[in-house]
Amino acid sequence: MHNKTVAELSRDLESGQVSSVELTRHFLDRIQQQDSQYNSFITVTEEQAMAEAEAADQRRQRGDATPWTGIPFAQKDIFCTRGVRTTCGSKMLEPFVPPYNATVTQRFEDAGAVSLGKTNMDEFAMGSSTESSYFGATTNPWGERRVPGGSSGGSAAAVAARLTPAATATDTGGSIRQPAALCGITGLKPTYGRVSRYGMVAFASSLDQGGTMARTAEDNALMLNVMAGFDPRDSTSVDQPVPDYTADLAQPLNGLRIGLPKEYFTDQLSPAMADAVQSAVREYEALGASVREISLPHANLAIAAYYIIAPAECSANLSRFDGVRYGYRCKNPEDLLDLYTRTRAEGFGSEVKRRIMIGTYALSAGYYDAYYAKAQKVRRLIRQDFIDAFDDVDVIMSPTTPSPAFVQGEKTSDPVTMYLEDIFTISTNLAGLPAMSVPAGMIDGLPVGLQIIGRYFDEARLLNVAHQFQQATDWHLRTPND
């Protein structure tokens, strides 16, 4: 049962071959038996899940089911869930039980999906390995002591271990695509503004975007059908019609123009990774696509610009955690200043503190123009590079990550090496473009991903391009065990 896709499970529920109660019980049992190895969940909502499953079965009998009615899924612990603790991987929010649902959560609830619980993540989504979680690191099901990537490592590991058929995630600089690649699953970061950020704990508001993780492109399309759309409660959400993202999956790829950025394929890219991408590209040529080299001249500035802009925004967003309103509060404060400083010193982990300090510095008088304003100008140049490139091509392809999953602890002492994990993913966040990661090979027994970047709001095409690849290859069907 756990090897089936969302699309297959949805058909089984529809035909009455299985009930949501049976399905939900099955996944809850797997979580209970196996998750001690992975630590992919922070909170499992067993009782609530079983109640939702019963309600879903009744709804199906009444004849008003959606494709999601009765389908179990998991939610990154960054989405506010009414009555269910939402920690964002931090001690700061350990006791926080939101009184409302994030829009994404609400939409799955309205569709009748069954939430199994909340998945582990890097603290406040800052990281690339899920090692900075206050609730302990998540382990990649593909390799003992290997990281699952991050920050959505819990969602990716849970899908890869088939503890859930699908999971929500967020991506500020790569946090959907990089863990999807390292765990051998399929993930999509939509266009900025496509999915509501309401109720999604903010890290860097101009970059954060909610998205999807599942084993196939088709399942990502089914997820996006639920998640996408205008939300008056998020002023950055875009009022554009939502297509049926499954409608174009079967379109042939004849005439598709693929661009390969020359800046990404240098001798610094490992030969094994270059080979994996080249074979994927050959597969696309066999499917009727043409390939050309393109240039993204400012690609080498993306990491530097991001590590000014993201910390600047995070330092402002995280100022709300002051021990007064909600979340953690230090014991016996002497006065207001002591309350603020000790709450923050005790409540945040070291990566979050590092970012707040960098961001505060970059925004301070005298440095603002030199760092923050400069980074914003670079951001505009990076965006323009993509706009120019898309004059000649329909999609851009690259590796998702520089290498497969690394060993836990390998990069924790050197933040800059950790930051380089996102070298291929970060510029699309700066530009606001949609991008996917699709399983595209194995290196030393570990999965690697192909990144596919599209034009603004071209998610349907990305999903089509990914789906056609998955009709021709079986990388997405490989599983780490049983």
Q: Measured from the CB atom, is 130 or 225 closer to ligand GLN?
A: 130
Binding of residue 175 to ligand GLN (CB under 6 A): yes
Which residues 6+ apart lie within 8 Å of 317 measured at CB? 202, 203, 204, 205
Binding of residue 174 to ligand GLN (CB under 6 A): yes
Q: Which of 56, 92, 125, 362 is in the footprint of ligand GLN by CB under 6 A? A: 125
Distance CA 79, CA 102 (A): 6
* Annotation marks residue 151 as catalytic: yes
Annotate each residue in 191-210 with x if it binds ligand GLN (CB under 6 A) or - if it does not, as one string.
------------x-------
Binding piece for ligand GLN, criterion CB under 6 A, among 121-129, 242-250, 336-344, 455-463: 121-129
Annotate each residue in 211-240 with x if it binds ligand GLN (CB under 6 A) or - if it does not, as one string.
------------------------------
Q: Provide, rounded to whole angstroms, the least separation between the CB of residue 448 and ligand GLN.
A: 17
Annotate each residue in 330-359 with x if it binds ligand GLN (CB under 6 A) or - if it does not, as one string.
------------------------------
Q: Measured from the CB atom, is 49 or 305 closer to ligand GLN?
A: 305
Pull the structure tokens for residue 417: 């090496």
Q: Provide, rounded to whole angstroms, the least separation between the CB of residue 37 and ligand GLN.
A: 24
For residue 184, give the amino acid letter: G
Q: Measured from the CB atom, is 259 or 434 closer to ligand GLN?
A: 434
Q: Provide, rounded to whole angstroms, the least separation between the CB of residue 35 and ligand GLN.
A: 22
Q: Given the DSSP bridges, would you call strands 166-171 and 114-119 parallel, antiparallel or unpaired?
A: unpaired
Annotate each residue in 68-107 with x if it binds ligand GLN (CB under 6 A) or - if it does not, as one string.
----------------------------------------
Q: Measured from the CB atom, is 27 or 203 closer to ligand GLN?
A: 203
Q: Provide, rounded to whole angstroms, the least separation between the CB of residue 439 and ligand GLN.
A: 19
Helix axes 302-317, 374-389, angle to 10 degrees: 120
175, 196, 398, 427: the catalytic one is 175
Q: Provide, rounded to whole angstroms, the least separation between the CB of residue 31 and ligand GLN.
A: 24
Q: Provide, rounded to whole angstroms, the least separation between the CB of residue 227 and ligand GLN.
A: 17
Binding of residue 151 to ligand GLN (CB under 6 A): yes
Q: Measured from the CB atom, is 40 or 172 closer to ligand GLN?
A: 172
Q: Provide, rounded to whole angstroms, the least separation between the CB of residue 422 and ligand GLN.
A: 5
Binding of residue 128 to ligand GLN (CB under 6 A): yes
129, 151, 315, 398: the catalytic one is 151
* Annotation marks residue 91 as catalytic: no
Distance CA 285, CA 70 (A): 39
Q: Which of 310, 389, 396, 452 is in the footprint of ligand GLN by CB under 6 A? A: 310
Q: Measured from the CB atom, is 106 or 152 closer to ligand GLN?
A: 152
Q: Measured from the CB atom, is 50 or 420 closer to ligand GLN?
A: 420
Distance CA 163, CA 173 (A): 26
* Annotation marks residue 132 as catalytic: no
Binding of residue 171 to ligand GLN (CB under 6 A): yes
Number of residues that bind ligand GLN (CB under 6 A): 13
10, 20, 40, 76: the catalytic one is 76
SS3 letters across the chain: CCCCCHHHHHHHHHHCCCCHHHHHHHHHHHHHHHHHHHCCEEEECHHHHHHHHHHHHHHHHHCCCCCCCCCEEEEECCECECCECCCCCCHHHCCCCCCCCCHHHHHHHHHCCEEEEEECCCHHHCCCCCCCCCCCCCCCCCCCCECCCCCCHHHHHHHHCCCCCEEEEEECCCCCHHHHHHHCCEEEECCCCCECCCCECCCCCCCCEEEEEECCHHHHHHHHHHHECCCCCCCCCCCCCCCCCCCCCCCCCCCCEEEEEHHHCCCCCCHHHHHHHHHHHHHHHHCCCEEEEECCCCHHHHHHHHHHHHHHHHHHHHHHCCCCCCCCCCCCCCCHHHHHHHHHHHHCCHHHHHHHHHHHHHHCCCCHHHHHHHHHHHHHHHHHHHHHHCCCCCEEEEECCCCCCCECCCCCCCHHHHHHHHCCCHHHHHHCCCEEEEEEEEECCEEEEEEEECCCCCHHHHHHHHHHHHHHCCHHHCCCCC
Q: Measured from the CB atom, is 177 or 461 closer to ligand GLN?
A: 177
Residues numbered 373 to 432 that lie near ligand GLN (CB under 6 A) are 422
Q: Provide, rounded to whole angstroms, the least separation between the CB of residue 338 and ligand GLN.
A: 30
Known catalytic residues are 76, 151, 175
- Which residues sit at the interface with ligand GLN, rule CB under 6 A? 125-128, 151, 171-175, 203, 310, 422
